């Protein structure tokens, strides 16, 4: 993968559950409403198992984001991978609040784009953010993404259907 990302493993469930629990309030405005079980080791192990099953089918690439010490600091997933004439995927990510502002998200996004383009042969990576998520928009801009649209009522976030600003990065070689 890269020095900033690697494939998630079932062994990551404990640390991810701890990060999710510690960052629950921080991430809540940007995430779907989650059941309490999601924040447990059992819940994270189930989530990781499902993610790895999708990966085996070629539908997604579930990664962990690593900090400067190589410790898990968050997650990044390339999902909805489509082959054929579309050659595209969507990207979502989160980072622990105490790891923000260090360039980790930008480095992880750039690493994931490299994988999508150079290893997977995709033409396009898409990401959407809430209109108010200027931090994530900054990450995408620094990673070479361009805004291309607005999707009204795109995702149900924090219990409400929210508009999302859409960004994409195109592979110039495909």
pLDDT of 173 above 90: no
The 10s digit of each residue's pLDDT in 41-73 is 999 999 999 999 999 999 999 999 999 999 999
Read off the pTM.
Answer: 0.94
CATH fold of 3-125: Aminopeptidase (3.40.630)
pLDDT value at residue 174: 78
What is the rounded distance in angstroms from the CA atom of residue 94 to the CA atom of residue 114? 18
The 10s digit of each residue's pLDDT in 114-156 is 999 999 999 999 999 999 999 999 999 999 999 999 999 999 9
Q: Which residues partner with 57 through β-bridges?
A: none
What is the rounded distance in angstroms from the CA atom of residue 165 to the CA atom of residue 128? 5
Q: Which residues partner with 78 through β-bridges?
A: 61, 91
pLDDT of 1 above 70: no
Mean pLDDT, the chain, integer: 96
pLDDT value at residue 167: 98
The 10s digit of each residue's pLDDT in 75-86 is 999 999 999 999
The 10s digit of each residue's pLDDT in 21-44 is 999 999 999 999 999 999 999 999
126 contacts: CB under 8 Å, gap ≥ 6: 88, 89, 90, 91, 166, 167, 168
């Amino acid at each position: 993968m890269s020095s900033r990302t690697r494939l998630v493993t079932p062994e990551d469930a404990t640390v991810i559950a701890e990060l999710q629990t510690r960052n629950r309030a921080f991430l809540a405005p940007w995430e779907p409403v989650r059941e309490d079980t999601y924040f447990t080791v059992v819940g994270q192990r189930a989530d990781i198992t499902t993610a790895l099953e999708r990966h085996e089918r070629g539908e997604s690439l579930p990664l962990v984001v690593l900090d400067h010490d190589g410790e898990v600091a968050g997650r990044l997933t390339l999902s909805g991978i489509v082959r054929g004439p579309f050659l595209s995927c969507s990207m979502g990510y989160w980072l622990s609040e105490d790891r923000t502002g260090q360039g980790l998200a930008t480095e992880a996004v750039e690493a994931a784009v490299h994988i999508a383009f150079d290893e997977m042969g995709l033409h396009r990576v898409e990401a959407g953010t809430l209109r108010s998520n200027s931090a994530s928009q900054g990450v995408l801009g620094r990673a070479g993404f361009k805004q291309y649209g607005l999707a009204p009522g795109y995702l149900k976030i924090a219990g409400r259907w929210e508009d999302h600003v859409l960004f994409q990065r195109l592979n110039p070689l495909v």
